[in-house]
Structure 1
């Protein structure tokens, strides 16, 4: 099962199961994502360097459903960012210092509104997977565990419509010593246990 099929399955489950017992909200969003660098080394640790992910726009979808306890909601988060990875020192392959890639997140968790409301200030936490998918099929696609924590505010526009503003930190865990994107002959490995991205986003929540 590939990532797109997994995403579709998770979305379908979230749409069908909670709808029978709770009100829901769906919110397409657009944002901007900024990231930290990742330490790497060549085989034998003869050369150290860093991978830097370019700061770019992001977009995606959040889906929420009310839980029995007032002020709490379940949340499914799907995010996508088209970016590039650039090596400060070294090459992914002969003549290649930078590669284009798409970063996906599929995560599940919850939202908490203090005071038992369903709008206003909130805190969020979700956990799941990050997919690092190079545009060039010569490089390996990678899947890593990820955790997102953040907060924001939902402005009540009407009973069925909210404006949602988010600020979240997305941490993706890396296997220190694991390979970096490349397939046969790759000499690069991660030295970092993970990397952090910060995403600011805005979207409209449609309640039904």
Structure 2
């Protein structure tokens, strides 16, 4: 058999072979995030106030990898939201009632399809960390433990492509009595144990 015939036979076998099952999914997503307020008080506990995060768009990337049991996947979630924190009644610092900041989430967990497939309805859960990063370097950055629970639906488009719709709640724990964003003599302290954000998102899952 000459080289041309061998090449043609090899190509025919490759084309006739079934496609390799996808094992990893990458999902760039865009969404909208809504949040609750955070109770705070002065260090002397003489005044109470609350911080409210502005509802705004979010985006990020989700990485999934198939686990041996059908319908189960590991998941890595990274989300980013540009927003602002506003005090209802007081000031973070002189002439500063609100602070522009970026909220990051990095979480590790899993996803489960009751159908045993990689499309259809699913539930998800993850643990990780939230980073609260003020745009102004005069204010402190905070890292706090976070938990997310959610669910959604993946529409099958092709063997390598899905449309994913998500709704997840993200709880960020706060140290009651810990300082708020401001530093250098700031008198504000968290009096809440945490706050919840709800994110609705959509993205295309690229599987390979």
Deviation at 1:137, TM superposition (A): 0.2
Whether 1:71 aligns to 2:71 is yes
> Normalized against structure 1, the TM-score is what?
0.89
Specify the alignment match of 1:10 in structure 2.
none
Deviates more, 1:56-65 or 1:86-95: 86-95
Whether 1:174 aligns to 2:174 is yes
How far apart are the structure 2 equivalents of 1:115 and 1:160? 19
1:73-99: CA deviation from partner (whole Å, max 9, x where unpaired): 000000000000000021110110100
Specify the alignment match of 1:142 in structure 2.
142
Specify the alignment match of 2:14 in structure 1.
none
Q: Give the 5 Å matches for 1:1-208.
A: 23-208=23-208
Is the radius of gyration larger for structure 1 or structure 2? 2
Higher helix residue share: 1
Deviation at 1:115, TM superposition (A): 2.3
Specify the alignment match of 1:9 in structure 2.
none
- Note the residue ranges of structure 1 that are not aligned, 5 or more in a row: 1-21
Deviation at 1:43, TM superposition (A): 1.6
* Ranges of 4+ aligned residues in structure 1 off by more than 6 Å: none
Corresponding residue SS for 2:95? coil
1:33-78: CA deviation from partner (whole Å, max 9, x where unpaired): 0000000001211110100000000000000000000000000000
Corresponding residue SS for 1:115? coil
How far apart are the structure 1 equivalents of 2:76 and 2:104? 13
How far apart are the structure 1 equivalents of 2:31 and 2:77? 13
